[in-house]
Amino acid sequence: MAFQGDIVDTLSGLFKSANSKEISKNFSSSVELSINEEEDVYPKAQAEQIIREFFTKNPPVSSAVIHLINTNPNYRFGILALNTKNGKFRVAITLKKTANTFFITELRVEPDK
């Protein structure tokens, strides 16, 4: 695990490598997940499966952090520009700190318009 201050950068790298297993280690026990407008709250394990399926359908080519809010010590928000073989997506990640560790509470993936 990289230094927690750079958690959004770390996640960007994990998205680029389509590493759903490592991404899911950062999920809180339940995650609000929205992929292409299908939205629900999922337990950690199911959320990982959904992300893995997304990567199978959309193999990543590159990922970059395009927006980061880190002014609150207990909250992070980042937006990634994710390029895949099937198009570009925006990934919005909301993280909240629990016991000195940031966990993903909300993850939204939508086509980049």
The domains of the chain are located at 31-111
- Compute the chain's Rg from CA coordinates: 13
Other residues' Cβ atoms within 10 Å of the Cβ of residue 109: 22
pTM: 0.92
Check pLDDT > 50 for residue 3: no
Please state which CATH class domain 31-111 belongs to. alpha beta
Question: Which neighbouring-strand residues pair with 70?
Answer: none
Q: 73-105 pLDDT, tens per residue? A: 999 999 999 999 999 999 999 999 999 999 999
- Angle (nearest 5°) at CA 40 between 99 and 109: 85
Q: 19-73 pLDDT, tens per residue? A: 999 999 999 999 999 998 899 999 999 999 999 999 999 999 999 999 999 999 9
Q: State phi, psi for 69 to the nearest 5 degrees.
A: -115, 115
